[in-house]
Amino acid sequence: MKRAGRSIPCTSAGFPRCAQKANTVFHMQMVRLSGNRELQRVLANLNARLRLVCWVDMADWCGLTSAHHSKVVTTLAPGDGPGAATAMRDHISRRRAQATEAARKTILRRYAPS
């Protein structure tokens, strides 16, 4: 993963953490580009709250998330705002259901008896 011209190494042992960082960086950059400071604050707060859920669920959704992010970037780069907005809405709607299921699994793993 690259960040500000630097590469963040992703080893198999560190993959979930690296993928989570890449996801967080992507979303924060998209929000920064919007110029909406309140949305930046809300997203930073949400990222902090969801860190455990994202880490537990990372292996299942990383490839799909990367494909969604690529779609957003490839529509945004040439200036296709409406296309990028559609791609981001699609990404968010798909991830909402997955995040809900990941939260359920995380709670069960943490608190339910084996």
pLDDT tens string 61-93: 666 677 788 888 899 889 998 998 898 888 888
Res 71: pLDDT: 86
Mean pLDDT on 86-103? 82
pTM above 0.75, yes or no: no
**Which CB contacts under 8 angstroms, 24+ apart, belong to 66-75?**
68/94, 68/95, 69/23, 69/26, 72/30
For 2-6, 33-37, 41-45, 110-114, which range has the lowest pLDDT when averaged over its residues?
A: 2-6
Q: Which residue has the tokens 């957003």?
A: 72
- List the domain boundaries for the chain: 2-111
pLDDT category of residue 103 using cuts at 50, 70 and 90: confident
pLDDT tens string 11-40: 444 555 666 778 788 889 989 988 999 999
Instruction: Point out which residues pair with 6 in neighbouring strands.
Output: 3
Res 101: pLDDT: 81
Res 50: pLDDT: 73
Q: Are 56 and 76 in contact (CB under 8 A)?
A: no
Give the whole-angstrom CA distance, residue 111 versus residue 10: 30
